[in-house]
Chains A and B, each alone.
Chain A
Amino acid sequence: MKMPTEELIQSLARDVPAVPPHATGRRLASGLLAGGAVVALCVVAGLGIRPDLRQAATGVSFWMKWTYAAWLGTAAFLATTRLARPTSQSFGSVWPIAMPVLLLALVGTGELAHTPASEWPALFLGKNWTRCLVMLLLLSLPMSAGVIWSFRRFAPTRPRAAGAAASLTAGSWAAAIYCLHCPEISAVFVLTWYSLALALVAAAGALWGPRLLRW
């Protein structure tokens, strides 16, 4: 039986905790940290950190790859906090997300220009592109679970866009952790396979958003 509205208001007003500023961003960040802990465990204990990490961490290609993932992750994070709120706002500008892709494409073009055409396939395919693609997709799952948990208190009114942004955030930060393992070095490899994996993850998020993020 329906409760009278005044009674409902009184019962709701019994529990009014203070809400800290930026509560949405904080909650999303805790979801990512929880997912990230699982991903880090999988990478460190399961896949293993690349043996030459100490050496690679002084090189350009490792940080290029990490910056690409972290930049996408940050841009997607900001888009997600907007889409977690009930507004008529759309996905927003795509530039923060397109920018790292364009910059990496620029680096990749330079890389190709300095490499004989006969070695281009090796640059694109790397040591093992299928493994990299599959790992990125799998590792984005625990991260996405964390993000979906944080959405339980959000109020997205554009669930498709919110789903895409949320999964892109999850996928990008999972990729940033996967960098600890991934031995690939070329920019065109990262541009091709990391981007493809993240595009697939974002598409899956757009597909599942209306079902998983409804409230």
Chain B
Amino acid sequence: MSATEDQLKALMLNGLAGDADAHAALLRALVPLLRSFFSRRLHDLNEDTEDLVQEVLIAVHTRRATFDVKRPFTAWLFAIARYRLVDHLRRRRAIPVTENLDEILVAEGFENALSARMDLDTLLAGLTAKQARAIRDTHIAGYSIAEAAEAAGLGESDVKVSVHRGLKALAAKIRGVRR
């Protein structure tokens, strides 16, 4: 489970107040975020991912005074991560990063107060009521196809088809959102 903006920011603020445990917890929470950020963008250079993760952790630590408490933590974090990535690729003479920070923030799913539930609700809102319910029941609430069918008063194959079509539509929508 990945941490939310609010959790990360709370840890950061406590760390800035001198709480070493909060600071360590923050750095630990950032590791999976940064690993996925870099490994998705480095493609064939995966062995460099851990170096970059560590570079960002060090920057988060040594330059933590530059965090503006009035602004979101994740925007600050990914600006550092992007800067490190650009620098790394330049040293490697690889393809430059073309994404700007806003695109990164959207792609990393941290646009606003960003909870996973909010994203999901927005996405499901675009489906038919039947598809949305079928996906909610089987993929989020964790019911089996048979249970979901009984609860909705539909046939099992009808639920299966709704889930299938709904997921296909969702995938298309996410690709559309991320261009």
Contact = CB atoms under 8 A, between A and B. Distances in A.
A12 interface: yes
A153 B67 CA distance: 12
Contacts of B58: 8, 12
Given A2-B51, A9-B24, A16 B83 contact: no
B80 A14 contact: no
A129 B66 CA distance: 40
A88 interface: yes
Nearest to B101: A88
A2 B17 CA distance: 30
Contacts of B18: 16-18
Residue from the set B61, B66, B76, B79 with the largest chain A CB neighbour count within 10 Å: B66
Interface string A14-33: 10111101011001000000
A153 B71 contact: no
A214 B64 CA distance: 16
A84 B66 contact: yes
B68 interface: yes
B24 A19 contact: no
Given A9-B57, A85-B66, A86-B66, A16 B76 contact: no
Nearest to B59: A155
A19 B62 CA distance: 11
B158 interface: no
B174 interface: no
Contacts of B119: none
B108 interface: no
B20 interface: yes
Contacts of B20: 13-14, 16
A15 to B, nearest CB: 8
Given A18-B17, A87-B71, A12 B57 contact: yes
B76 A86 contact: yes
Contacts of B16: 18-19
Contact of B65 (A5, A8, A10, A27): A27
Interface of A: 2-3, 5-6, 8-10, 12-14, 16-19, 21, 23-24, 27, 84-88, 153-155, 157, 214-215
19 contacts: A3-B54, A5-B31, A5-B53, A12-B23, A13-B21, A13-B27, A19-B65, A21-B69, A24-B65, A24-B66, A85-B67, A85-B76, A86-B80, A87-B75, A87-B79, A154-B63, A155-B80, A157-B80, A215-B63
